[in-house]
Structure 1
Amino acid sequence: MQNKIHIGSRQVILNYNKAYPKNRETLLGSESFKRFIGYFIHSVQEKSPKLYDYVTRHGKFTEDEATENFVTFLRILAIFKIEEIDSDYLTERELLLELLEEIYKEWRSLQRFGYMYSEKTPDFGINNLVQKDSSLNDLILRTYRLFEEKVQGRPNLVYRQVQAGTNACFSVHKAKEFTKPDQYKKLEDIPIIDTVMLRTPMILHPKSSKRTGMFTEIDQNPLNTFRFEKDDWFCFPMKVGKLLCFVYFNSKYTATALSLANLFELATREEAKEKPDLIVLYGNEDNKNETTFYHDTENDIWVGSISDHPRVEYFGYMKKMALTLHNLAMMSQGWLPIHGAFVNITLKDGRTKGIMLMGDSGAGKSESIEALKVVGKDIIKDIDVVFDDMGTIHIENGVPYGQGTEIGAFIRLDDLDPGTPYRDMDRSVFMAPENPNSRMIVPAAPYRMVVSNHKIDLFAYANNYTDEYGLKELEVEEVKETCKQGKRMALGTTQEVGISTTYFANPFGPMQQQDVCEPLIDEVFQSLKDNGVFVGEIYTHLGFDKMNRHGLHEAATELLEFIRKD
């Protein structure tokens, strides 16, 4: 990573402190540009033998020689008029134009990131980072257009302001003060992210689009055997609910890790000096292909480890490991984790209700809320999202309150109303939109709202497997048993197919420690009953025909009627 440019795993990482092209001359003359052209020439041999033959002059040059020759040609082309240049590359203008286009496409097909050290830049501020990154974007765009227009012999008639530089950039610092226990001191060498800029919509193409396997508890701290090259790792410090979580990630997963900025609150530099409650090692090169966690009871730190493997490039691994650790930590404090969605609905006449829906992946929690937005568009004033996937219920002075964990939502595109992804796309990160189980990560709520207490007026289990419609109030004991059984019709969001059951519909903490969770369930459901909360089931029908949204419409309509009641 201390190299000026790192190319691998279909991504590029630029170290702005070591190599930053201020103009076209330094860009084309840089070692980083030469490395990329060499990378392209090697990759084009299989994809386009015609272009490979052209750039190597039909095998006259080796790849290294072709790289040197073509880079030299581009430097000359940037300065002189094309009529003043004597080069074999100009004998076939159409092939040259095609080659330039393919080089530009190859660059933009990579996941591209830039970073800089904030403490090494005098008077560093977000403007330094944004200005550097934006100037690079403009420089690459103008350079490509210059070459294209010179070779084709005329200006372009249509210009597209695409993201020609990076997909995202970030600044880091080295932690000089660490209030961590001694056995965690080696992590001090890993730079900590303090600022992130995403160029949205950010479209990523991870190798995996599904989570498999389970998170299992082990009896040894993964830190004991954690080996790393400090220049290949970064730390993303974030708030999961009220807990501080340090995600240490292998740089090959930078795209996935930076996407966390749309889902969790980034911790401040001051907060990052504190002892974390949770630690995630993402891309751990332990050759185990495991997803495990450990509770360091002496220091009260929950540590999760995700082995380096192509399958874990799916964002769900990082997200769910952090949530699993959070849920385990909160259960130890007497808070009950809820796998579901919780929103505060405010009608135009001023009435407000807190709606909490619970269910495992694919049950229809988020989809029901989206359908509610549609059916209530004329009478709903505001919908404030407390959580879209994972939250908690805790009891204060005999009253049950809900809190959230995330400031965003990680949503299946197929499960949304067709227009929804486009409504929020300007702020979103899209994951493999061309594949089944494609997802988007979109900001949903400010952090202050997520970690505030919110009153619960309705608690319903999202049932996608029963051939019923609407919303039904049931006996609290019956709903409690339904929730503990955690039944659903799996829709392919994980490795499961057909009807499945998961303890308390939550494989992210409660399932692993059922003995801890069981008394919390009894306490919370008794509190819901004592406080007169509506407890029942909402029938989404998604397990029968997820393309037919009639069931969701019926459920949302009855949900709206409940909200309108005094």
Structure 2
Amino acid sequence: MKLYQDSKKIIIHQSEEFFLSPKELLETAMFKEVLSEYYQTTITFVKEETLFSIYEQIVLNDAYLKELPNHIKEEVFNLTEGFYDYWRKKEKYLIFKDGPLLEASNTFNDVIIKTYRLITEGLSGKKNNVYRQLSAGFNVVLNHVSTSLFEGELSHLNDVICLNQMVIRPPFVIRTKSNTRKGLFKETSVNLFKEVKDLKGFFMMPIKVGRELALVYVKDKYLHHGISLSSLFEMADTKELYTLKPSLMIFFGVSDSTYDNHYYIDEKKGYYVGIVSDLEKNDYFGYMKKMLLTLHNLKKINEGCLPIHGAMAKITFNNHQQKYIMMVGDSGAGKSETLEALGNLGEGKIKSFDIIFDDMGYLLEEDNIIRASGTEIGAFVRIDDLDDGYIYREFDRSIFLNPERHNARLIIPVSRYGFIKRAHPIDMVLYINNYSMDDQILSRFSSLIEAKDVFLSGKRMAKGTTDEKGLVESFFSNPFGPVQKEMTTRFLVDQYFEALDKQGVYLGVLNTKLGVAGFEEEGPKIAANALLDYFNDKA
């Protein structure tokens, strides 16, 4: 059964479309519909029904080819090559219920390639000398289960298909209508559960954001964003759906735009709920990711924790010295790029390099010590700011978003869930300055007051990752929770930074120069070298 189809994607339910041979593939409604869709884009003298009939005859009986004139064979061959490319460029999703995901993914890929070769080799009259084993099947094969998580007024949520496991065939390239995120998420006192009435065509994906369980309800046309979440956050398994109480919930692709990019806190039930509407501007992964993190951060603020927009890593040097480095800065400051450069340039000096978080974490107090914990297992990074060789090294593990456009991104797993959710010690907290031309790359604040002022100002040179331009400020470099709860965040900054200072944590500035023309690539490398020199001197 076809669940959804447009010019870019197709979502199929396994029960009606299971095929194990070229003959069975041609008999599916999916094959006929995509062929018809492709045919409408061509100019040819071969009729659509004739084209399909030729395919059937080739698959069933090779002798039929002898009756075809050469000019028809050549035209059908060219149409087949075009059809194959058209099919491969689509985002293709197959959904099972308790199915063998790995076997299905491999089988369908093999059957589609076999069908293509059977037809093209039959038309050309010879076997190929070179075979390219491309990814031609479904990009993603998913398992779905039924759930009974809610009662009463929320019981209708149980009707939404839950996707709890998947197989992705990377590299997976996604092209969306929007490529930047704009504005802030705003709170409403309206109970958003009552505003989400029609969930037809939605899927639910259970995601662990740090230690919180989130239920992400996503409309079929935006399923690609839900798939992207699986490389950035840990997916919850079926047991955890019932042992962990969900606290974060978002509805992505809601038809009513009244509460677009708004959130609601149900304090009585402990739910943090967000809505992102079905609007062209919202077809960008940043809206899903940042709404999730905003809800997470609001909950942490209410629990007395301090959300950190930045990156953090545990670095183990060859002399067994360990350092836990946290970098704080808003989008485009150079956090991820500096960590990546640190890992590359530290070869021969660094024994291991473990990412705790690449975008969002939080400070908490444990045993009277300030520690840090992460939220994500992956990284969502700008391709333009990465080392030239990075993409090629990680090509086969990545999800690419709009690779040919400005602000192109890739999503890649970089850590393990069991590691990122721990409460880690802290040795350095660095404000990432991407605009200063100061020759002093790494410096320590002379006073706690100076440190808090700089961190709270959140000044940076905007890199085009949002709608901001030029030198801008963002409160505490974090518009995802702290901006919405500014007074509480100021109190928490005072509390946590005073404690960090008493613990002897290095509070300083690192100049990445990522926002300075001509230093986009070299700036993070210079910053990474400054850190390596500092630790070498302290060894």
For normalisation by structure 1, the TM-score amounts to 0.91
Query: Contact conserved, 2:232 with 2:378, CA < 8 A, in 1?
Result: yes
Going from structure 1 to structure 2, the CA distance change for 1:548 and 1:326 (only over 3 Å counts) comes to: closer
Letter aligned with residue 206 of structure 2: P
Task: Give per-residue Cα distances to partners, 1:312-349, cap 9 Å, x unaligned.
Answer: 22111111110000000001001100000000110001
Q: Secondary structure at the match of 1:234?
A: strand
Cα distance in 1, alignment partners of residues 16 and 199 from structure 2: 18
Query: Contact conserved, 2:382 with 2:408, CA < 8 A, in 1?
Result: yes
Q: Which residue of 1 aligns with 2:526?
A: 554
Q: Secondary structure at the match of 1:295?
A: strand
Counterpart among 212, 215, 228 of residue 259 in structure 1: 228
2:467 corresponds to 1:495? yes
Task: Give per-residue Cα distances to partners, 1:188-230, cap 9 Å, x unaligned.
Answer: 0001112111112222222222112221111112221213344
1:169-184 residue pairs with structure 2 within 5 A? Answer: 169-175=141-147, 177-178=148-149, 180=150, 182-184=152-154
Cα distance in 2, alignment partners of residues 156 and 372 from structure 1: 46
Cα distance in 1, alignment partners of residues 12 and 129 from structure 2: 32
Query: Contact conserved, 1:211 with 1:314, CA < 8 A, in 2?
Result: yes
2:442 corresponds to 1:471? yes
Cα distance in 2, alignment partners of residues 185 and 526 from structure 1: 46
1:321-340 residue pairs with structure 2 within 5 A? Answer: 321-340=291-310
Q: Which residue of 2 aligns with 1:480?
A: 452
Q: Secondary structure at the match of 2:208?
A: strand
Q: Which residue of 1 aligns with 2:53?
A: 72
Q: Which residue of 1 aligns with 2:486?
A: 514
- The percentage of counterpart residues that share the same residue type is 36
Cα distance in 2, alignment partners of residues 471 and 195 from structure 1: 44
Q: Which residue of 1 aligns with 2:431?
A: 461
Letter aligned with residue 138 of structure 1: D
Going from structure 1 to structure 2, the CA distance change for 1:325 and 1:84 (only over 3 Å counts) comes to: closer
Query: Contact conserved, 2:356 with 2:373, CA < 8 A, in 1?
Result: yes
Counterpart among 367, 370, 373 of residue 403 in structure 1: 373
Counterpart among 73, 79, 82 of residue 99 in structure 1: 79
Cα distance in 2, alignment partners of residues 337 and 389 from structure 1: 11
Q: Secondary structure at the match of 1:519?
A: helix
Q: Which residue of 1 aligns with 2:245?
A: 275
Q: Which residue of 1 aligns with 2:216?
A: 247
Query: Contact conserved, 2:293 with 2:360, CA < 8 A, in 1?
Result: yes
Cα distance in 1, alignment partners of residues 520 and 37 from structure 2: 47
Query: Contact conserved, 1:437 with 1:492, CA < 8 A, in 2?
Result: yes
Q: Which residue of 1 aligns with 2:102?
A: 130
Letter aligned with residue 264 of structure 2: Y
2:389 corresponds to 1:419? yes
Greater alpha carbon shift after TM alignment, 90-99 vs 410-419 = 90-99
Q: Which residue of 2 aligns with 1:505?
A: 477
1:158-173 residue pairs with structure 2 within 5 A? Answer: 158-173=130-145
Task: Give per-residue Cα distances to partners, 1:261-307, cap 9 Å, x unaligned.
Answer: 11101001011134310001011111448211110111110001000
Greater alpha carbon shift after TM alignment, 180-189 vs 248-257 = 180-189
Q: Which residue of 2 aligns with 1:62?
A: none
2:436 corresponds to 1:438? no
Letter aligned with residue 108 of structure 1: R
Cα distance in 2, alignment partners of residues 289 and 413 from structure 1: 32
How far is 1:22 from its partner?
2.1
Query: For structure 2, which runs of at least 5 residues remain unmatched after alignment?
Result: none
Q: Secondary structure at the match of 1:13?
A: strand
Task: Give per-residue Cα distances to partners, 1:504-532, cap 9 Å, x unaligned.
Answer: 10010100111221111111100111100
Cα distance in 2, alignment partners of residues 546 and 514 from structure 1: 35
Query: Contact conserved, 1:262 with 1:408, CA < 8 A, in 2?
Result: yes
Task: Give per-residue Cα distances to partners, 1:171-190, cap 9 Å, x unaligned.
Answer: 01110x31x35332111000
Cα distance in 1, alignment partners of residues 526 and 401 from structure 2: 30
Q: Which residue of 2 aligns with 1:545?
A: 517
Cα distance in 2, alignment partners of residues 304 and 218 from structure 1: 10
Q: Secondary structure at the match of 2:163?
A: strand
Counterpart among 9, 13, 23 of residue 11 in structure 2: 13
1:176-215 residue pairs with structure 2 within 5 A? Answer: 177-178=148-149, 180=150, 182-215=152-185
Task: Give per-residue Cα distances to partners, 1:479-503, cap 9 Å, x unaligned.
Answer: 2111111110001011111011111
Cα distance in 2, alignment partners of residues 437 and 22 from structure 1: 41
Going from structure 1 to structure 2, the CA distance change for 1:9 and 1:293 (only over 3 Å counts) comes to: farther
Q: Which residue of 2 aligns with 1:121?
A: none
Task: Give per-residue Cα distances to partners, 1:395-449, cap 9 Å, x unaligned.
Answer: 2233110100001111111111111122222211111111111111111111011
Query: For structure 1, which runs of at least 5 residues remain unmatched after alignment?
Result: 57-65, 119-123
Going from structure 1 to structure 2, the CA distance change for 1:350 and 1:84 (only over 3 Å counts) comes to: closer
Cα distance in 1, alignment partners of residues 89 and 50 from structure 2: 24
Query: Contact conserved, 1:345 with 1:382, CA < 8 A, in 2?
Result: yes
Greater alpha carbon shift after TM alignment, 249-258 vs 5-14 = 5-14
Cα distance in 1, alignment partners of residues 65 and 46 from structure 2: 21
Pairwise CA RMSD of aligned residues?
Answer: 1.7
Counterpart among 115, 119, 129 of residue 147 in structure 1: 119
Q: Secondary structure at the match of 2:155?
A: helix
Counterpart among 265, 271, 288 of residue 295 in structure 1: 265
1:100-115 residue pairs with structure 2 within 5 A? Answer: 100-115=80-95
How far is 1:159 from its partner?
1.0
How far is 1:9 from its partner?
4.8
2:288 corresponds to 1:318? yes
Greater alpha carbon shift after TM alignment, 263-272 vs 421-430 = 421-430
How far is 1:545 from its partner?
1.9
Greater alpha carbon shift after TM alignment, 463-472 vs 552-561 = 552-561
Letter aligned with residue 187 of structure 1: L
Counterpart among 498, 512, 535 of residue 563 in structure 1: 535
Q: Secondary structure at the match of 2:480?
A: coil
Cα distance in 2, alignment partners of residues 182 and 35 from structure 1: 41
Q: Secondary structure at the match of 1:535?
A: strand
Query: Contact conserved, 1:468 with 1:541, CA < 8 A, in 2?
Result: no
Going from structure 1 to structure 2, the CA distance change for 1:548 and 1:7 (only over 3 Å counts) comes to: closer
For normalisation by structure 2, the TM-score amounts to 0.96
Q: Which residue of 1 aligns with 2:204?
A: 235
Letter aligned with residue 110 of structure 1: K
